[in-house]
Amino acid sequence: MEGGAIKSILVVDDEAIMRDFLFDVLEGFEVEKASDGDEAIAKMKEKEFDLIITDMKMPRVSGEEVVKFARETYPRSRVIVVSGYSSLASVGTALGYGICAFLAKPFTIKQLRAEIDKSLSQKDVNPPGESRRENG
């Protein structure tokens, strides 16, 4: 993941409108969409994404599983959680795996871009263990 290269982003949401919107708005990135956790994990198995933007509440495999898989498989992947719930509590245990940002729906494009920039420019994300230590 060299600095100049186009960053890849995986958008995971069971809400079509959110997937479409993120796909449309994230110009200048290589964006892929997944409508649930299963599909997301399948896509991540094929390739490493620089950023994963995922919803939490999804049928079958939840966002939590996606975060866990991404962080454990690709420690360098950044994760942003978007959620319909305003409270961070809805992120639940996913927080422990190390996420860069939490965006509560509805969010502005400005907020989204700021969080993406911040996440991608972040030198490193605490690995799960350290994150827990830090939180503890």
Partner 1 sequence: MNPFNLPRKCALREKFVVVVSAVIVVSMLVISGYLIKRQNEVFHQQLDKRGVALITNLAYNAEYGVILEAEDELETLIKGVAMADDVIYVTIVAADGRTLAGTGKDLKGTVRQLPIKQEELEVGSNKVQDKYFRAADGAEFIELAYPVQTQRKSVSKENLGAVAGYSEEQGATTTEIIGEVRIGLTLENMHKEIVKSRTAAILLTLMVVLSAIIIMTAFVRIITRPIESLVDVTDHISKGDLSKTVDVMWKDEIGHLAESFNRMIESLKKSQDEIEEYNRTLEEKIIERTKELEDAQSQLVQSEKMAAVGQLAAGVAHELNNPLGGILGYAQFALEKIQSKEINEFTPKDIESYKRYLSDIENQSRRCKAIVRNLLKFSRTSQTLELQEIEINQVLDETLSFLEHQLMMNQLSLKKMYDKTIPRTKGNPGQLQQVFTNIVINAMHASRPGSEIAISTRWLPPLGEFSGAIEVAIADEGIGISEANQKKIFEPFFTTKEVGKGTGLGLSVSYGIIKEHGGEIKVKSKPGEGTVFTIILPLEKRSDSVEIISNRQGV
**Where along the sequence are the contacts to partner 1 (CB under 8 A)?**
15, 17-18, 20-22, 24-25, 56-57, 62, 82, 84-86, 90, 104-110, 112
14/48 with CB nearer partner 1: 14
Q: How far is the CB of 124 from partner 1 (least distance, A)?
A: 30
**How deeply is 77 buried, as exposed, middle or buried, from its count of CB atoms within 10 A (0-12, 13-18, 19+)?**
buried
Cβ distance 38 to 16 under 8 Å? no
Q: How far is the CB of 26 from partner 1 (least distance, A)?
A: 11
40/125 with CB nearer partner 1: 40
The span from the CA of 118 to the CA of 76, in Å, is: 14
Q: How far is the CB of 87 from partner 1 (least distance, A)?
A: 8
20/117 with CB nearer partner 1: 20
Provide CB contacts within 8 A for 116, sequence distance 6+: 9, 26, 51, 53, 80
